[in-house]
Amino acid sequence: MLRTITPRNARVKRVLKNREAKTEENIKTAIFIRGSQTSQIVNDALADLYMLKKPYAVNFTKKNQIHPFEDHSNLQFFSQKNDASLFVIGTHSKKRPNTLTFARMFDHQLLDMMEVSIEKGTPMKDFKTPKSAIGMKPCFMFNGDMWDQNPHYIMFKSMILDFYHGQTVDKVALAGLEYVISVTSGPMTSEGKPGKIYLRTYTIVLKRSGVKLPRIELVEMGPSMDMTFGRMTEAKPDVWKQSLRVPKELKPKKKKNITKDVMGDTVGRIHLGKQDFDKIQTRKMKGLKKRTASTEDDKDSSEKKQRVNESDDEE
Amino acid sequence: MDVSGVLEAHKQKFKSVSVEGKVIPLEYDLGLLTAYDQNPIDEAELKKNKDEYLQSLSRDNAQLLFNEIFQLPTISDDNGVMAMLPVPTTLLPREKPLPKPKPETRWEKFAKAKGIVNRKKERMVFDDNTGEYKPRWGYKGINDDGSKDWIIEVPSGANPMEDQYEARREAKKERIDKNDKRRQRNLEEAAVASKMDQKTVNKGERPNMDNARAMKRKEIENQILISKNSTASAGKFDEAIKGDLKPKGIKRKFEPNVTADLSKEKAGNMSILDRVVGKNGEDLVNVRKAIKATKSRK
């Protein structure tokens, strides 16, 4: 469908190389699309989610005839063209009002997607509070006991983490933790269906506390959304398994020969080779040397010599 | 002197950093800066003042998360104090499949066998002639082919009427062509090797190039035979190329134009028709083969 580009200059070649499969991947880019009909709530929500995801986000401003649950071929095309693997599609209809559809791609094919409808949403611009800088790494919080049990919740947790965790780094500047995304699960409905989920975003303010650890205060930054779950398409198990494979280089290396004993001390094991006891260098003690017949005679003569000298000294 | 009173008073001024009331301790995934709170939500509070309750709950959990983060080992960097994060425990899916290992090129194989290690060299080299630093390669580099020298001595064995500048230019062109040919050869062999060794590629190892060259050669010979056969005379009257293979025993059979046995002619024509249009109005497409073809293409 998409023509394969043969690079004619170094710059294009570099771009193509960047888009190839790599051991350590790029940060996932997200595309924010509007469906054929949208409402103010949906537009605000898309705008806010886009701001949080910048600069790894693409905002499609025009309306598209896109119905992901019926036909997801458009998503494949957009994914390949923009090298993006995350999508948020905002739609509004009488049957499904104020809906956001989160979708993920693997190898430019649909991996999984889920729909949430926004019951109540407050955009960032309605909160007259300072906002965090663009592109900062957020902290996450998932409150409630449902987050490991119900497939809707599991997928939503995975989606939010995937969207906003940015780059997986091994160190982070303590001063750079500016905001936190908190998702709370409400109680289940009386019919036993999943209840509402509450998404809130706060900026972190560190205050003095008299001890080394700072006191945390939160200031609501927005967006704030109350959502209910809609339809969901789970990933096919074999594709899901393939997407979770970790390359050998990134697997944490096992430390061998080091253990902690009962007392909590670290004990190490050193493997020496085979030792030839005859040829070990030790401290030489002449008295312990092996005596043979010839050495005995020499010793007598030397003893005799000594005695003669002694007798001479005495005299 | 009793300072404990003063300390107490000092401590009272500030709010506490500890959080009480968490029945189930929080689970943390510090690699992703995440906290999972399994404690049940106070539904009554949630109904009464939703936003305040959510804010206080989030504040408590953020406090606990930060307490954990500040416990991590830190290093001081130009960017300030950095906390060393562990490997994340939550598995998130990749966006593209794992890269396939590329087969070794001829040079890589040779270098591995000989134990040649690639050592990084400095870009700038001191040029004794000019007394300044020049790049080792590239624009205004020291190993320029010398076509810009203002004087070139005629080498002892060469024709004195020959244009040496021309000779140098030709030599450079030849070197470029040679390099290109080698690069092309590497690409072709890599393509054949990775196709052949699909099993080792799936396992994650590099495909072997040893049989790749033999296979590539066989492939080319096969293609020649096919192209010969597709000519009208089945390759019998093609112009002979030096080093070409001699296709043996190609004979084109010609049926007589008019046969006494018309049934044979009819059978022949019907078989052609069946192959083109399909027997008894069956599908033209062999569904099984089509599925296989699309699967293999993917």
Query: Which burial class, exposed, middle or buried, applies to A153 when counting CB atoms under 10 A from its CB (0-12, 13-18, 19+)?
Result: buried
- A56 to chain B, any CB pair closer than 8 A? The answer is no
pLDDT digits (tens, 9 = 90+) for A138-177: 999 999 988 988 899 999 999 999 999 988 888 888 888 8
Domain ranges in chain B are 11-83, 123-152, 164-227
| The model's pTM | 0.72
Residues 6 or more apart whose CB falls under 8 angstroms from that of A58 comprise A29, A30, A31, A32, A82, A84
Average pLDDT of the residues of chain A: 87
Q: Which pLDDT score, from 0 to 100, does residue B249 have? A: 66
Shortest CA gap B23–chain A (Å): 12
Would you state the torsion angle of the CA atoms of residues A25, A27, A29, A30, taken in this order, to the nearest 10 degrees?
Answer: 120
What is the percent of chain B where pLDDT is above 70? 93
Does the pLDDT of residue A313 top 70, yes or no? no
Q: Which residues contact A199 (CB under 8 A, 6 or more apart)?
A: A160, A181, A182, A183, A223, A224, A225, A226, A227
- Going by C-alpha positions, the residue among A157, A118, A119, A129 that lies closest to residue A219 is A129
Task: For B80-92, write each residue's pLDDT tens digit.
Answer: 888 999 988 888 9
Q: Give pLDDT, residue A106.
A: 94
pLDDT tens-digit series, residues B113-141 = 999 999 999 999 998 888 999 999 888 88
d(CA A234, nearest CA chain B) in Å: 13
Helices (H), chain B: 4-13, 43-48, 50-70, 106-114, 164-196, 198-203, 210-229, 262-277, 287-297
pLDDT (tens digit per residue) in A81-111: 999 999 999 999 999 999 999 999 999 999 9
**Per-residue pLDDT at B281:** 61
Any B CB within 8 A of A155 CB? no
ipTM of this complex prediction, to 2 decimal places: 0.78
Phi/psi at A169 (5° precision) = -115, 165
Please tell me what DSSP assigns to residue A194.
-
Tens-place pLDDT, residues B243-261 = 766 666 667 777 777 777 8
Examine the pLDDT at A306 and tell me if it is beyond 80. no
**pLDDT tens figures, A217-264:** 999 998 999 999 999 999 999 999 999 988 887 777 788 888 888 998
Task: For B139-168, write each residue's pLDDT tens digit.
Answer: 888 877 777 788 888 888 888 888 888 888
Asked whether the beta carbons of residue A168 and residue B11 sit closer than 8 angstroms, the reply is: no
> Chain B contact for A223, CB < 8 A?
no
Q: Which domains does chain A have, with CATH numbers?
A: 10-243 (3.40.50.10480)
Q: Summarize pLDDT for B262-297 with one digit per residue, the tens.
A: 888 888 888 988 888 777 666 667 778 888 888 877
Residues of B in contact with A242 (CB under 8 A): 97
